[in-house]
Amino acid sequence: MRWMLMKAYQIKIELVDSNPLIWRRVIIPADVTFKRLHDTIQFSMDWWDRHLYEFEFPQEKLRITNDGETYEEFKFYQKKYKDKALTKRNDPHGMIAHILETTIRQPQTIKIDRYLEKYKIITYVYDFGDDWQHKIELEKIIDDYEFGYPTILEGDGACPPEDVGGIPGYEEFLRVWNDQEDAEHEEMRKWGENQYYRPFDIAFRNNLLKTCLKIKKVK
Residues 121 and 170 in one domain: no
165 and 133 both lie in a single domain: no
Verify that 42 and 110 share a domain, yes or no: yes
**Structural domain contains residue 46:** yes
pLDDT in tens, 151-179: 999 999 999 999 999 999 999 999 999 99
Nearest residue to 49 (alpha-carbon basis) of 171, 213, 181: 213
Mean pLDDT of the chain: 95
Do residues 135 and 121 touch, judged by C-beta distance below 8 A?
yes
CATH number at residue 127: 3.10.290.30
pLDDT of 11-66, one tens digit each? 999 999 999 999 999 999 999 999 999 999 999 999 999 999 999 999 999 999 99
Same domain, 169 and 135: no
Q: For the chain, how many structural domains are there in total?
A: 2
Query: Do 131 and 173 sit in the same domain of this protein?
Result: no
Section 93-118 average pLDDT: 97
**H-state helical runs in the chain:** 34-45, 68-80, 95-101, 113-119, 166-178, 185-194, 202-212
In this prediction, residue 214 has a pLDDT band, given cuts at 50, 70 and 90, of confident
Q: Are residues 123 and 186 in the same domain?
A: no
Question: Looking at the structure, do residues 154 and 164 belong to the same domain, yes or no?
Answer: no
Tell me which residue of 49, 205, 26, 52 sits closest to 112, measured CA to CA: 26
179: domain range? 160-199
pLDDT higher than threshold 60 for residue 217: no
Are 206 and 149 contained in the same domain?
yes
Q: Whole-prediction pTM value?
A: 0.94
Backbone angles phi and psi of 215, in degrees to 5: -115, -155
